[in-house]
Structure 1
């Protein structure tokens, strides 16, 4: 099951923030590839390093949000952001959407920090912020449909199912990461959960008055 798009007929604005976020993530990934391991070590979020010197590690809360562990990681995140981000941005407005995105990403990193405080492994990825966007979509568009590719057929499927399967995958990945040693890491799986949990309060705060409850 591969999601390829949703219904944008009710969208009123051009999703400039969503497209800029996608462009920044792709650009940052190419910089990451050229910089190699030293770049990742410097700009990814390292829990133990941050706790040892919060001032020096503060910027990595944001830079890690635009880094990815590989092409598949990047492509999956950007696909979901492209499908669901534009609708959420339309409801929130451009400024509120970027604030929402960043706050979900920060909440996600704090969730990862809480479960891996002693880890020296760099954590990276936009998945936590995107998890917040997906959660907001479910609140704002509870009846939303997503076009999915199944074999050689394209068929509509409730967004709840498409996003729900993604959430279940992240949940079990996160539970597995808790049982590992403190020096496991890479993709911050608990950050996915943190971003999704944060979306409820932020969505209620940021959505427009005419949004669907």
Structure 2
């Protein structure tokens, strides 16, 4: 089974929101190049933890609200062009897969909730750190987790995603997602990832996996596996 888009119009109808998300993140990166405003919107674990304590004490203010907003805003920021292009390539790949299966609303919902889950996971793991974190890879890991769960539960069609010439078997894409998760999980405990926030990757992946397992409906193009 193969999916195909009916020209540019079909591509925009199915993947327009995803392309808009990629474009928006890219424009944010361009804006980062022309100012020093972006660090204020990166998530700082130590600052978030302090804001959380003030919230529990009932003394939180507008500055604390800003720190909580960075749990989401950091996913739209990137450190350099290589960071951006790598993340956008994987966002296009797995975002397109989830959009094809579930529609753009589910894709966007998984992205945003996984971004939050990734940031919260990073803050918990690095709660004593004051080094800021940024990037969309945690949210993208959530899309990987969601696709892995669906590929394990249901018989999915072979996706055809522009600009790939041929469709790729779902099990290969699921295996790719599983390998990335295993590498991040291993790096999180061995502390071998350098300045990569693998805890955020693991947190985002877990959120996407859980959403697909508990909330996401069975795609109309999927079939139950035969036993």
TM-score, reference length from structure 1: 0.77
- The answer to whether structure 1 residue 173 and structure 2 residue 187 are counterparts is yes
User: What's the CA shift for 1:146?
Assistant: 8.2
Partner secondary structure for residue 124 of structure 1: coil
| Residue of structure 2 in register with 1:124 after alignment | 134
Contact kept, 8 Å, 2:97 with 2:159, in 1: the verdict is no
Which of 39, 48, 51 is matched with 2:49 structurally?
A: 51
| Residue of structure 1 in register with 2:22 after alignment | 22
User: What's the CA shift for 1:176?
Assistant: 4.0
Indicate the RMSD between aligned Cα atoms, in angstroms: 3.0
CA distance in structure 1 between the aligned counterparts of 2:34 and 2:198, rounded to whole angstroms = 25
* Higher strand proportion: 1
1:120–1:198 distance in 2 versus 1, CA, 3 Å: same
| Residue of structure 1 in register with 2:84 after alignment | 74
Which of 6, 9, 15 is matched with 2:4 structurally?
A: 9
- Where does the alignment leave 5 or more consecutive residues of structure 2 unmatched? 52-63, 161-165
Contact kept, 8 Å, 2:44 with 2:133, in 1: the verdict is yes
- The answer to whether structure 1 residue 32 and structure 2 residue 46 are counterparts is no
User: What's the CA shift for 1:132?
Assistant: 0.7
Partner secondary structure for residue 73 of structure 1: helix
**Larger Rg over CA atoms:** 2
Contact kept, 8 Å, 1:47 with 1:113, in 2: the verdict is yes
1:100–1:66 distance in 2 versus 1, CA, 3 Å: same
Higher relative contact order (CA 8 A, sep 6+): 1
| Residue of structure 2 in register with 1:3 after alignment | none
Contact kept, 8 Å, 2:147 with 2:174, in 1: the verdict is no
CA distance in structure 1 between the aligned counterparts of 2:103 and 2:32, rounded to whole angstroms = 30
TM-score, reference length from structure 2: 0.73
- The answer to whether structure 1 residue 199 and structure 2 residue 214 are counterparts is no
| Residue of structure 2 in register with 1:94 after alignment | 104
